[in-house]
């Protein structure tokens, strides 16, 4: 586990603290039927892929699968539990691939690595890029991609 880099107690990272190559691994989270039902209700995406168990029995998945955006959102939350909070962080760009289905009962975790740091448009901000892989309980990559975040710089 790489999450041993996590320090105890609250700590805030500024852009200046972040190093290329830093790695984080989140705890696991089991995706439940309740997660999928709640996400369908919240997002309004009731596609049969996620909501019709009978229809999906006859599909090659054999059962309902989680919304791709649900698991993308879950990994964002998981990474937040493995990485110290970044000051004023906001997501500015995302490139993402859905590699395989996530079924009810699957347990996902995210592995992330800082791949780039660069100056922002304004002196008080910097931008970092994080490469992420979402793995299931068998170690298969089910989603992967890269995110860019704007982070506050430490004030002099």
Asked if 48 touches other proteins (CB under 8 A), the answer is: yes
Written as six digits, the tokens of 73 are 């959102």
Which of 1-9, 54-62, 106-114, 125-133 is the region at the interface with other proteins (rule: CB under 8 A)?
Answer: 54-62
Least Å distance between CB 68 and other proteins? 4
Written as six digits, the tokens of 77 are 């939350």
Least Å distance between CB 108 and other proteins? 12
Asked if 101 touches other proteins (CB under 8 A), the answer is: yes
Which of 14-22, 31-39, 114-122, 129-137 is the region at the interface with other proteins (rule: CB under 8 A)?
Answer: 31-39
Distance of CA 48 to the CA centre of its chain: 24
Per-residue x/- track, 63-82, other proteins (CB under 8 A): --x-xxxx-xxx-xxx-xx-
Least Å distance between CB 114 and other proteins? 18
> How many angstroms separate the CA atoms of 67 and 74, rounded?
11
Per DSSP, the residues of 29-88 read EE--HHHHHHHHHHH----HHHH-HHHHHTSTT-S-B--HHHHHHHHHHHHHHHSPEETT
Residue carrying structure tokens 């004023």: 88
Q: What is the CA radius of gyration of the chain?
A: 17
Of 30, 47, 124, 141, the residue at the interface with other proteins (CB under 8 A) is 47
Least Å distance between CB 1 and other proteins? 19
Asked if 125 touches other proteins (CB under 8 A), the answer is: no
């Amino acid at each position: 586990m790489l999450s041993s880099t996590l320090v105890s107690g609250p700590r805030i990272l500024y852009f200046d603290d972040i190093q290329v190559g830093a790695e984080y691994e989140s705890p696991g989270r089991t995706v439940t039927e309740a997660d999928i039902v709640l996400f369908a209700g919240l997002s309004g995406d009731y596609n049969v892929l996620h909501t019709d168990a009978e229809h999906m029995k006859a599909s090659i998945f054999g059962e309902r699968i989680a919304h791709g955006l649900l698991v993308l959102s879950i990994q964002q939350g998981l990474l937040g539990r493995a990485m110290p909070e970044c000051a004023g962080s906001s997501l500015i760009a995302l490139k993402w691939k859905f590699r395989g289905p996530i079924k009810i009962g699957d347990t996902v975790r995210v592995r992330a690595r800082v791949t780039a740091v660069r100056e922002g448009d304004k002196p008080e901000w910097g931008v970092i890029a994080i490469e992420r892989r979402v793995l299931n309980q068998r170690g298969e990559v089910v989603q992967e991609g890269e995110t860019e975040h704007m982070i506050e710089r430490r004030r002099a």
